[in-house]
């Protein structure tokens, strides 16, 4: 075992050393605090509002043929998202650029609420099933146009959407 080195320091020198070490430790903690992400309990770095979901995730739906001339559209909305009843429109076009004919639709009652953008409305949350009945036999190039609009409860509204569905792909 080697020799033990002993250093004698005066009391004022010990205080200076103690203060110097304390200063370095404190400076290190302040620097660490500046580099560490802030939490909700401090100054939040999270956005004031949630990020909007991509349209395909916010309003996913599928169309299925029930019988000749009858179709069902099903939306499965994520929590906190809704569709406006008044924004739905369904039309049939027999050929590209032909006149669009309205399609009869059967929709359930929605939830009545006061919307910050449109006032008193009916909204759909969760799963929504809409039945469509064509008034004419669709031709080989027939397509259905599905128009809708929805929002997130936290205040983000998506622009009106128009989707084209080919009946005979």
Residue 85 CA to residue 113 CA, distance in Å, equals 11
Q: Is residue 4 part of a domain?
A: no
**What's the CATH number where 121 sits?**
2.60.40.1250
Rounded to an integer, the average pLDDT of 120-147 is 95
CB 123 within 8 A of CB 111: yes
Q: Count of domains in the chain? A: 2
Range of the domain at 67: 55-166
Tell me the pLDDT of the chain averaged across its residues: 82
Mean pLDDT over residues 37-61, rounded?
A: 74
Percent of the chain with pLDDT over 70: 70
Together in a domain, 34 and 91: no
Task: Verify that 71 and 154 share a domain, yes or no.
Answer: yes
Kindly state whether residues 91 and 142 are assigned to the same domain: yes
| Pairwise CA distance, residues 136 & 142, whole Å | 11
- Which phi-psi region, left, alpha or beta, contains residue 168 (left: φ > 0; alpha: ψ -120 to 50)? beta
- Shared domain for 21 and 87, answered yes or no, is no
67 and 31, same structural domain? no
pLDDT interval class at 36 (50, 70, 90): very low
Q: Residue 41: which pLDDT band, with cuts at 50, 70 and 90?
A: low
Q: Which of 49-53, 76-80, 125-129, 153-157 has the lowest mean pLDDT?
A: 49-53
- Over residues 67-100, the pLDDT tens digits come to 989 999 999 999 999 999 999 999 999 988 889 9
CA atoms within 13 A on the CB side of 23: 6
Tell me: do 39 and 72 sit in the same domain. Answer: no
Least confident window among 3-7, 43-47, 108-112, 128-132 = 3-7
Look up residue 48 and give its two tokens: 């004031």
Within a domain: 100 = yes
User: Within a domain: residue 158?
Assistant: yes
Same domain, 151 and 79: yes
What's the pLDDT score for residue 152? 94
Q: Are 163 and 74 in contact (CB under 8 A)?
A: no
Q: Are 149 and 84 in contact (CB under 8 A)?
A: yes
> Is residue 102 a part of any domain in this protein?
yes
Q: What is the pLDDT of residue 13?
A: 56
Whether residue 105 lies inside any domain: the answer is yes
Q: What does the block give as tokens for 53? A: 């979901």
- Contact between 97 and 109 under an 8 Å Cβ cutoff? The reply is no
32 and 112 both lie in a single domain: no
């Amino acid at each position: 075992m080697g020799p033990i080195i002993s250093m004698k320091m005066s009391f004022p020198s010990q205080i200076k050393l103690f203060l110097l070490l304390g200063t370095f430790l404190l400076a290190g903690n302040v620097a660490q605090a500046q580099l560490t992400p802030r939490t909700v309990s401090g100054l939040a770095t999270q956005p004031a509002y949630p990020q909007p979901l991509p349209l395909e995730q916010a309003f996913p739906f599928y169309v299925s043929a029930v019988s000749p001339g009858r179709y069902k559209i099903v939306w499965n909305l994520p929590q906190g998202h809704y569709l406006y009843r008044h924004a739905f429109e369904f039309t049939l076009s027999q050929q590209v650029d032909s006149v669009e004919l309205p399609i009869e639709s059967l929709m359930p009652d929605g939830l009545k609420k006061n919307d910050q953008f449109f006032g008193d409305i009916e909204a759909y949350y969760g799963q929504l099933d809409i039945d469509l009945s064509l008034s004419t036999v669709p031709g080989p190039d027939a397509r259905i146009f599905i128009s809708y609009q929805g929002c997130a409860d936290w205040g983000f509204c998506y622009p009106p959407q128009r989707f084209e569905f080919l009946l005979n792909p």
